[in-house]
Amino acid sequence: MILRPALEDSPVYYHYYFSIVKEEDLFKALNNLLSSTVSFIRSIPPEKENYKYADDKWTVKQVLSHIIDTERIFIYRALRFSRKDATALPGYDENTYAPNANCEHRTLAEMAYEFELVRRSTISLFQYMTDEMLDFKGTANKATVTPRSIGWMIAGHNVHHCRIIGERYLY
């Protein structure tokens, strides 16, 4: 069981993401979100996959790509810090990633599959982390974080963006 992080082990903007995850165990949250997100992606009507609700917003597929890309980046950070690598890691520009992800040439089924692979890899990495590994403090994007807080951020980020898709793109 991986319980929630201490709030002081993460930047304040992570706290919102922690608060929207209903489970009290990270493994349960990640596994539940694996199945619900894959189902959600598969339920998106084809006519909505390239939809954006405003000219300056991403398409549905770009938002999904953002969820996947962010999980990859965050899990890399968690891996480094869990191995006691204290090298400060840079941030990334999500607004550069989204338009360069080649989403227009990908299907929702392919994106659901990719999400599933990335999430299974995330779960696998966390599976064998000790409390000492989970609570090692590192710096990413100029903020102190732990692998534990990164795991909870991944879950909350997933919830947040699926809600956005549901509320602003599909209804």
According to the model, what pLDDT value does residue 171 have? 82
Summarize pLDDT for 106-151 with one digit per residue, the tens. 999 999 999 999 999 999 999 999 999 999 999 999 999 999 999 9
- Please enumerate in sequence order all residues whose Cβ is within 8 A of that of 19, keeping only pairs 6 or more positions apart, or say none: 156
Summarize pLDDT for 27-70 with one digit per residue, the tens. 999 999 999 999 999 999 999 999 999 999 999 999 999 999 99
According to the model, what pLDDT value does residue 105 have? 94
Summarize pLDDT for 85-97 with one digit per residue, the tens. 999 999 999 999 9
Question: Computed from CA positions of residues 123, 125, 131, 136, in that sequence, does the dihedral angle turn out positive or negative?
Answer: negative
Fold of 26-169: Four Helix Bundle (Hemerythrin (Met), subunit A) (1.20.120)
Continuous segment of H or E residues that includes residue 167: none
